[in-house]
Amino acid sequence: MFVLEVFISGLLSGVMYSLVALGFVLIFKASGVFNFAQGAMVLLAALTFVRFIEMGIPLWLAAIMTFGVMIVLAIFIERFLLRPLVNQPLITLFMLTIGLNYFLEGLAQAVWDAEVHGLDIGIEDVPWVGLEQATGLLISMFDVISALIAMGLVIILSIVFNKTKVGRALRAVSNDHQAAMSVGIPLNRIWVIVWAMSGLVALVAGALWGTRLGVQFSLSIVALKALPVLILGGFNSIMGAIVAGLIIGASEKLGEVFLGPYVGGGIESFFPYVLAMMVLFWRPQGLFGDVIIERV
Amino acid sequence: MTATEEIQSAADQRISDEVLMSVRNIRLSFGGVKALRDVSFDIAKGEIRAIIGPNGAGKTSMLNVINGVYHPQEGTIFYKGKTGLMKPHEAATKGISRTFQNLALFRGMTTLDNIMTGRNMKIKRNFLWQALRWGPAQREESENREAVERVIGFLEIESIRKTPVGRLPYGLQKRVELGRALAAEPELLLLDEPMSGMNVEEKEDMCRFILDVNDEFGTTICLIEHDMSVVMDISDRVVVLDYGSKIADGTPNEVRANQAVIDAYLGVSH
């Protein structure tokens, strides 16, 4: 029973990792760039959200307004950072996101502040009573609801990516800028869309993580949790981010419980990286990544 | 009528007097390098127009100017009587499709998806409708799918429909790229060295496709090619560039006899 409980709560916390990883995957899919600034975007979104709420703005309106801020940010990023760098090597764009990371961290704390803010989005972090009575399992209601929210977001994103014109355009842009433009895909608009989408993911991740940890600077470091998820799942697979998040979540909790005692505990923090590394030996593109095609 | 006359009169029917695109006094330089020096020519509706010239003559630059990858320092381009600088994606929406000298395909996507991107701008319904796959969006998707299937049938690439293009041999990749350009149902099709790197058989296939596209769909084609013999066989009129300047313009026979062209290709002792 205890094992099952650990397993389930691991899965649910894994969903939270997936959420952060998803933000990376979106931008990677559409531009081939690892967005180092994703953590800072989570921080910015969460801080903006929490400060709007503290101003007395209703929850739903604050969420929409924060999304608006993230859209404006996306437009700025496209106009002033990406547009001048069209057709530059990917490493240049990667360096750019490192700079952007520091800029956004600073901006978020300069505009708002660097205090720790409690965030209450109306879901209590208490055991799910119904489930406890029925099965005896102690599972946090908050975990369940955030897992549902994350799943909803994922379903929407995968439909948009795989079944629509915009999604096809996004995939096309990630493959070849020149070719994408030649078939009439406006690169600039696509970039705004994808950065806005990843802003939305950052907002959801920020709100959920912020509720759990409090909105503070360390939220930007949560992004590091996404790294092993990305390696495990593959950088360009939405599905991969989800499944890998679940695997990492469950395995790090189970690992802590079963292997932890033999090595003095505390393996939760590095276990995901070990797991990710082992997967790399076997599948360099990750579990769900696009197969690497190389013609010699 | 002799055979040549017959061919000539068939060509006359196909090609109208209407000018589809007119390129006027284009000058383009990159720093000190003058890529194009005062180049002018026009493309008649329905013809196959070739741009030839030795390496570095400015052929690809010319094509890039036409679809808006480069904006020239001087000169104008009239397309369907209208002027104005276009960006590549705007050119695409106005009916100008192109292929690239060094393949520009979406390597990770399948043949079908690649060609489908060619129809992206034909899809009018917004993505919410599409995500729901409902009503008009559904119908639109299947219409586009049919158009893509026609292109696939036309280019005889049914068997590789679901293959990621990165895995295909070079000749087939070139064909997929042509398919993507065709899927947009262009009025003007720009082909940048469609036959480079191909073996004889692949070249013959490609020639046949180019002629068929022109013949069946009435698409105007502007192509760049290295291989003189190929160009002379399939094109109606030829522009010859050398060091960024136009040195000849006319029918294949006229161009072949032109002393400046012979000098440019064979080299002269100065």
Which domains are assigned to chain A? 2-282 (1.10.3470)
Q: What is the value of ipTM here, to two decimals? A: 0.71
Is residue B22 included in any domain, yes or no?
yes
Given a cut of 70, whether residue B13 has pLDDT beyond it is no
Residue A61: per-residue pLDDT: 93
B234 and B195 share one domain: yes
| Residue B223 resides in a domain | yes
Contact criterion met (CB < 8 Å) for A295 and B118: no
B46 and B156 share one domain? no
- The pLDDT of residue B133: 60
B34 plus B120 within the same structural domain: no
Q: Which residues of A touch B167 (CB under 8 A)?
A: 293, 295
The answer to whether residue A67 scores a pLDDT higher than 90 is yes
pLDDT exceeds cutoff 60 at B121 = yes
Q: Do A179 and B109 touch (CB under 8 A)?
A: no
Among B185, B200, B226, where does a domain finish? B185
Q: Do residue B88 and residue B117 come from a single domain?
A: no
Q: Is any Cβ of chain B less than 8 angstroms from the Cβ of A81?
A: no
Say yes or no: B26 and B82 in one domain: yes
Q: What is the pLDDT of residue B178?
A: 92
How far away is chain A from the Cα of B118, in angstroms, using its nearest Cα? 5
A266 pLDDT more than 80: no
- Minimal C-alpha gap between B139 and chain A (Å): 13
Distance from CA of A194 to the nearest CA of B (A): 14
| Tokens coding B229 | 């013999």
* Interface mutation vs chain B, best among A29, A164, A178, most B CBs within 10 Å: A164
Same domain, B80 and B191: yes
**Closest residue, chain B, to A157 (C-alpha):** B131
Q: Is 60 exceeded by the pLDDT of residue B3?
A: no
User: How many domains does the structure of chain B reveal?
Assistant: 2
Candidates B81, B80, B83; CA nearest to B71 is: B83
- Average pLDDT over chain A, rounded to an integer: 84
Residue-number span of the structural domain to which B239 is assigned: 1-95+187-270
Residues B209, B175: one domain?
A: no
What is the reported pLDDT for A294?
A: 58
The model's pTM: 0.76
Q: In this structure, are B83 and B201 located in the same domain?
A: yes
C-alpha triplet B245, B249, B250: angle, nearest 5°: 170
Picking from B167, B185, B203, the residue at the C-terminal end of a domain is B185
pLDDT at A127 over 80: no
Chain B residues closer than 8 Å to A178 by CB? 69, 88, 100, 104
CA B59/CA B170 separation, integer angstroms? 22
- Inform me whether the C-beta atom of residue A56 falls under 8 Å from chain B C-beta atoms: no
- How far is it, in rounded angstroms, from Cα B57 to Cα B247? 11
B239 belongs to a structural domain = yes
Within this chain, do residues B7 and B75 fall inside the same structural domain, yes or no? yes
Cα three-residue angle B158-B161-B163, rounded to 5 degrees: 135
Q: Which residue has the higher pLDDT, B155 or B138?
A: B155
Amino acid at B256: R
| Interchain contact B109–A (C-beta under 8 A) | yes
DSSP-assigned beta bridge partners for residue A235: none
Is the pLDDT reported for residue A224 higher than 80? no
In a shared domain, residues B143 and B204: no
Of the candidates B141, B161, B185, which is a domain's last residue?
Answer: B185
Q: List CB contacts of A172: < 8 A, sequence separation 6 or more.
A: A179, A180, A183, A185, B106, B109, B117, B120
Q: Which one is predicted more confidently, B178 or A86?
A: B178
Verify that B163 and B39 share a domain, yes or no. Answer: no
Residue B2 in any domain: the answer is yes
Quick one: B72 and B201 in the same domain?
A: yes
pLDDT digits (tens, 9 = 90+) for A83-109: 888 777 888 888 999 999 999 999 988
A200 burial level (CB within 10 Å; 0-12, 13-18, 19+): buried
Most B CBs within 10 Å: which of A87, A165, A294, as the mutation test of the B interface?
A165
Whether residue B102 lies inside any domain: the answer is no
Chain A residues touching B104 at Cβ < 8 A: 176, 178-179, 182
- Assigned domain for B101 exists: no
Does residue B130 have a pLDDT over 80?
A: no
CATH at B192: 3.40.50.300
Range in A36-40, B120-124, B227-231 the model is least confident about = B120-124
Question: Shortest CB distance from B109 goes to which of A165, A175, A178?
Answer: A175
Q: Does B245 touch chain A (CB under 8 A)?
A: no
pLDDT of B270 higher than 60: no
The SS3 assignment for B41 reads strand
CA dihedral in degrees (A158, A161, A164, A170; nearest 10)? 170
